[in-house]
Amino acid sequence: MYDDTLRQRADALLALHQPGNPVILPTVWDAWSAKLAVESGFAALTVGSHPVADSVGRSDGEGMTFAELLTRVQQITDAVDVPVSVDIESGYGEAPSRLITGLLDAGAVGLNIEDTVHKEGGRLRSGAEHAELVGALRKAADESGVHVVVNARTDVIFREDGDASDRVDRAIARMNEAAAAGADVLYPVGFHDSDTLRRLASELPLPINAIAQPDTSDPSSFGPLGVGRVSFGPFLQWALSARAKELLQRWS
């Protein structure tokens, strides 16, 4: 069993997800970026697999190991005193119980889990298969005594999978299966127009996660659409990289 601190942080993270009043979770990748975000006033963070992989010279899509990710997560949770969620891609081929205990041992209290299986040629899990994994993660979390916040992601829209005419319908069906299996948040990843975001938020039974460009998206635009959570994917790191290149080019 885990101590009260982790339980309290998990409960606090879940409570921040309010449709119409979204929690903004800056996507960080190391202790420096995490401290920068907390010092800027954010109450919780998410660790992005893509920026972490870039920061250690690996590729996104499970180019690093789960153990390597956990090393970075531990550094982040040692540096900040706020709830931290972690993008664990499609699970790194690990058992659900190992995923939960690894995250909790590293001080994290939330996770993203996607339905693209990187270790199997990038195939897309079926909706039922993804829901089964979500359910196994929920069971493992329940057994730990900590309500790890499970953000179930589908890549159907992002990958432009299948016919465009029913793509949103199929994403909604998958997300409903994940919700029934025990997810807390639903993440139909992709940059959606306002009508699509509004539809996703209204038709899905749980708070939805939207992705934003930290330098160009309008922070006030997501609440009126019913979004419950906003994160940045790799785009905060990329925006900082662009500025860093401008500074360095003055001297090259």
User: What CATH number did the domain enclosing 155 receive?
Assistant: 3.20.20.60
For residue 1, what pLDDT is reported?
77
Give the model confidence (pLDDT) of 51-62 as tens digits: 999 999 999 999
> Pairing state of beta strands 123-124 and 116-117?
antiparallel
Q: What is the pTM of this model?
A: 0.96
Burial class (CB in 10 A: 0-12, 13-18, 19+), 7: middle
Q: What is the pLDDT along the chain (252 residues), one digit of tens a residue?
A: 798 999 999 999 999 999 999 999 999 999 999 999 999 999 999 999 999 999 999 999 999 999 999 999 999 999 999 999 999 999 999 999 999 999 999 999 999 999 999 999 999 999 999 999 999 999 999 999 999 999 999 999 999 999 999 999 999 999 999 999 999 999 999 999 999 999 999 999 999 999 999 999 999 999 999 999 999 999 999 999 999 999 999 999
Rounded Cα–Cα distance for residues 76 and 89 (Å): 18
Domain count, the chain: 1
Cβ count near 51 (within 10 Å):
25
For residue 122, what pLDDT is reported?
94
Tell me which residue range forms the domain holding 84: 4-249
